[in-house]
A = this chain, B = another copy of it.
């Protein structure tokens, strides 16, 4: 399962479409870190709305992804974590500490606009 990565203005949007294997997640992480440079992106949104499980491996990989893109000059925000998934994560002890989150794509875009202090039009 390749995750499509769209470029929207200064942002890259990765919309996960189906359950991802560990290898898929690592690919996503590396692809985003690379594309941030290629497209000179300032922000990254990873939409996990369809993920029905976020285990320790997925949490860790998303955290690493966020840290990697930041080192490359782009902020990452994870959007769409469902309430039940959030519950399971917290019970496991996974809090995505140090990683920004937002409710959904729209809030994620608003968040990046504020964080990257770009109030110019996107797209």
Binding site for B on A (CB under 8 A): 30, 33-34, 36-37, 40, 64, 67-68, 70-74, 79, 81, 83, 85-87, 89-91, 95-98, 101-104, 107, 111, 114, 117
Contacts and interface: CB of A to CB of B under 8 A. Distances in A.
Number of copies: 2
B101 A70 contact: yes
Contacts of A87: 30, 33, 64, 68
Chain A interface main SS type: helix
A81 B86 contact: no
Contacts of A97: 98
Nearest to A106: B40
A40 B103 contact: yes
